[in-house]
Structure 1
Amino acid sequence: MASRWLRPEVYPLFAAVGVAVGICGMQLVRNICINPEVRVNKQNRAAGVLDNFSEGEKYTEHFIRKFARTSSREIMPSINSFFADPSRN
């Protein structure tokens, strides 16, 4: 039975599913640990709705979002500019 599932053709599928599960797990842990709207223990739940905008701003403006905002949205900018720039003709 194990030889039926552990063929070399199945390894990319295992890798893709493993990466997807890892990303979901990372997001779950991130939300439970540092999301200002999620309160796990009873003392924090009793506080009700907090207007803590600085903590929410810190949560939403994480490293990946800051990096994506400053980087180019193109996959290969040099090739795109080579074919799309009219001044090169």
Structure 2
Amino acid sequence: MGRWLRPEVFPLLGAMGFVTSMVVFQLTRNALLNPDCRINKENRKMGILENEDEGEKYAQHHLRKYMRTRPPQVMPSVNRFFSQENN
């Protein structure tokens, strides 16, 4: 057990834990919220789902609506600092 407790392993464990949690989050989100995923029996019996409103809600979520109004810059203050001429 002592050889697994080396300090240089901790960043790798942290990165792998973070990535694993992101994968689990995305899979859970898709399984529970995706309108094309049919978990319950009533939806699986239907050949074509009539759920355009649900699909629109899934595609245009709150983060996407928020980011649509933001400028397409990662750090606007840093960009302004380096792009303005200092007289």
The answer to whether TM tops 0.5 is yes
Could you list the runs of 5+ residues in structure 2 that have no partner in the other structure? none
Aligned counterparts of 1:72 and 1:4: Cα–Cα separation in 2: 49
Report percent identity of matched pairs.
48
Q: Compared with structure 1, are the counterparts of its residues 72 and 3 closer, same or farther at alpha carbon in structure 2 (3 Å cutoff)?
A: farther
Aligned counterparts of 1:69 and 1:6: Cα–Cα separation in 2: 45
1:76 alignment counterpart: 75
Deviation at 1:64, TM superposition (A): 2.1
Could you list the runs of 5+ residues in structure 1 that have no partner in the other structure? none
Asked if residue 23 in structure 1 is aligned to residue 34 in structure 2, the reply is no
Deviation at 1:59, TM superposition (A): 0.6
Higher relative contact order (CA 8 A, sep 6+): 2
Moved more, 67-76 or 8-17: 67-76
Write the mapping of 1:1-89 to structure 2, written as runs, cut at 5 A.
2-85=1-84, 88=86
Give the TM-score normalised by the residue count of structure 1: 0.80
Give the TM-score normalised by the residue count of structure 2: 0.82
- The secondary structure found in structure 2 opposite 1:65 is helix
- The secondary structure found in structure 1 opposite 2:55 is helix
Output the aligned Cα RMSD.
1.8
